[in-house]
Amino acid sequence: MNGFIRKLMRRKNRLHHKAKTRNRAVDWERFRIARNRVITEVRKAKRDFDSKLDSKVNTESGTKSWWRMVKKYIKTNSSSNLQFPPVMANGTVLDQEIDIANAFNEYFTDQSQVDDPYRVMPNLPILCENTLDNLELTEAEVRDMLLSLDVGKAKGPDNISNRLLKSLAGVLTKPLLQLFNTSLQLSCFPDIWKFATVRCAYS
C-alpha cells in the first residue's frame, strides 16, 4: 500500500458514493473503471513487493535478516496462532503440530540410543577425590540471582514471569533459600522443576 494507491481508493469511494446517490449509468461506469484500476494497482504493488522480498532474501548474507523478515509474517504472540510448516518424516508429510512434535522427539531420542543395549559399561577410575558434601547457598547469592534475571525472557510452565520474581526479590529470597538448601541437603530435585516448555527453532 502506498500513497498513489490510497489516492485511487479515495477517488473510487467518492465515485461509488456519487453513483449510489445519482444512480446514473455514466456514474456507475466511472466507478467500475476506478475500481478496476485500484484492483490492478494493488496486484501490481503485491507483485513488486514479493519480487523485492525474494531478491532481498537471496542476496543478503546471514540468518538474522532472514528471520527478521519471517517474523513479520508469522504471528508468535499466541501459541494458538503459531503455524508450523509441513515436515517430511519417513516418507510421510506431517502437517499436524502433535505429529511434528512426536517426529522430532523420536528423531532426537534415536540419536542418544546405544547400538548395543547389552554392552557392559567400562569401569572408569575416579580421578577426583574432592566431593560436594557440604554445599549451602547464602541469602546474598539467591538475592543476586533474582536481581540478575532477564525480564525479557518468556515464562516457564509455572507462568511466573522473571519480572515478578525480580520485583519481589526481597520477599522471595528467604523462602527460596530454604527450599534450595533443603533440596541440596536431601539430594532431591523436585520433579516439577524438570518440566520445561520446548519449541523447535527451524533453521
Q: Which pLDDT score, from 0 to 100, does residue 64 have? A: 67
pTM of the predicted model as reported, rounded to 2 decimal places: 0.38
Do 67 and 97 share a structural domain? no
194: nearest Cα among 142, 146, 156, 149 = 156
Q: Which pLDDT score, from 0 to 100, does residue 38 have? A: 92
In the chain, the number of structural domains is 3
Q: Which domain holds residue 89?
A: 79-111
Say if residues 147 and 167 touch (Cβ distance below 8 Å).
no
159 in a structural domain: yes
Q: Which pLDDT score, from 0 to 100, does residue 83 have? A: 66
Do 150 and 99 share a structural domain? no
Report CA-CA distances (Å) from 39 to 4, 49, 68: 13, 15, 29
Do 12 and 47 share a structural domain? yes
120 in a structural domain: no
Q: 14, 45, 71 — which closes off a domain? A: 71
129 in a structural domain: no
CA 34 to chain centre: 42
Do 98 and 157 share a structural domain? no
Contacts of 154 (CB under 8 A, 6+ apart): 197
Do 44 and 87 share a structural domain? no
118 in a structural domain: no
Q: Which pLDDT score, from 0 to 100, does residue 158 have? A: 84
Render 135-152 in DSSP notation, one character per residue: ----HHHHHHHHHT--TT
Residues of the chain with pLDDT below 50 are 77-79
Cα–Cα distance between 82 and 87 in angstroms, integer? Answer: 15
36: nearest Cα among 11, 2, 3, 1 = 11
* Three-class DSSP category at 60: coil
Say if residues 152 and 192 touch (Cβ distance below 8 Å).
no
Cell 528467604 appears where? Answer: 174
